[in-house]
Amino acid sequence: MKRRLIIGAVLLVACSEPTAPGRTAWYSFDFAGDVFRWPESRVPVRYYADTRSNMRDLVERAIGTWEDQVLYGEFSGEMVNDSTVADVIVTWFDSVPPNVPPPPDNGPPVFACDGVTTLQLDSTGTALAEPIHTQIRITTAQVYTAAQVAACLRRVTIHELGHTLGLLQESPDQQDIMYSTVQVSAPSARDHQTVQVLYHTAPTIAPAPR
Ligand SMILES: [Zn+2]
C-alpha cells in the first residue's frame, strides 16, 4: 500500500490563535514515527530547479542556508540540470513571478506565496518511490508588491527545502523557519538544533534509488 506524505507551508491557518512557543530546544521531525534524512552516501543531494524566473537562485540560496546548519557536512546539496537524475525537484505550482530584482522589503512578512513538498513512499513503506517534489505557489488572493513576493519566496523556499532535508513536521514556534506560516527569513537556533538532532538520528525511510 502506498502512503503519501504531503507537507505544506499552509497559506492561511484556520485558527489565528498564536501557537505557544515550544519549550524544548528542538521540535519533532518524524512522520508518525518514521524518520527520513539523507544518508552520507547520498550527499550531496541533487536538486533540480524550474528553469523559469529565479527559481534556481532561490533553491541555491536555500541549499546554502541549510548547509550552514550542519557542522560536518552531514547535509549538502548541488544543482543538476537534468531532472531525471535529481533527488529533489522544485517547480512553480502555476504562476511564475517576473524575474526582476525587487527593492528590499523591510515590512512585516506577508503570505504572498506558499509551498507543498511531497514524499511518495514505495510499497514497502521503508523507502521513497521517487524524487521528492516541492512546488512553490504565488498566491493571488491579494495583490502584493514585487518586493513582498520576493521576500516571501526566499523564506518559503528555505522552509520547503527544510522538509526535503527530513524536517517532516512544522515547528510550533513562529520564530522558527519551519513554522507553518513562515514569518522569519532564516533558521533559528531551534531549527539549527533540530537539524543537528535529525542528522544524528537513524532514518527509517531510505531515499529513492538513483
Ligand atoms: Zn511546511
| CATH number of the structural domain spanning residue 151 | 3.40.390.10
Residue 90, helix vs strand vs coil: strand
Residue 21 lies in a domain: no
Distance from residue 8's CA to the centre of ligand 1 (Å): 4
AA identity, residue 153: L
Distance from residue 177's CA to the centre of ligand 1 (Å): 9
Residue 19 lies in a domain: no
**Can you point out the beta strands (E) in the chain?**
4-9, 45-49, 77-79, 88-92, 113-120, 132-138
Residue 208 lies in a domain: no
Domain interval for residue 64: 4-10+27-198
- Whole-number pLDDT of residue 207: 97
Residue 18 lies in a domain: no
Residue 186 lies in a domain: yes
Average pLDDT over residues 161-186: 95
Q: Is the pLDDT of residue 11 over 80?
A: no
Written as nine digits, the cell of 193 is: 538544533
Average pLDDT over residues 27-56: 96
Distance from residue 182's CA to the centre of ligand 1 (Å): 8
Closest CA to 158 of 139, 176, 131, 132: 176
Q: Is the pLDDT of residue 166 over 50?
A: yes
* Angle between helices 189-198 and 146-165 in degrees, nearest 10: 30
Residue 83 lies in a domain: yes
Residue 16 lies in a domain: no
- Model pLDDT for residues 65-91, shown as the tens digit of each residue: 999 999 899 999 999 999 999 999 999
More confident residue, 16 or 43: 43
Distance from residue 43's CA to the centre of ligand 1 (Å): 22
Query: What total of structural domains would you count in the chain?
Result: 1
CA angle 114, 11, 198 (to 5 degrees): 65
Residue 205 lies in a domain: no
- Model pLDDT for residues 90-126, shown as the tens digit of each residue: 999 999 998 877 777 888 899 999 999 999 999 898 9
Q: Global pTM?
A: 0.90
Of the pLDDT bands very low, low, confident and very high (cuts 50, 70, 90), residue 16 is very low
- Whole-number pLDDT of residue 13: 34
Distance from residue 115's CA to the centre of ligand 1 (Å): 7
Distance from residue 112's CA to the centre of ligand 1 (Å): 15
- Whole-number pLDDT of residue 23: 53
Closest CA to 65 of 187, 167, 177, 174: 187
Question: Phi and psi (nearest 5°) for 177?
Answer: -65, -20
Distance from residue 94's CA to the centre of ligand 1 (Å): 18
Distance from residue 53's CA to the centre of ligand 1 (Å): 23
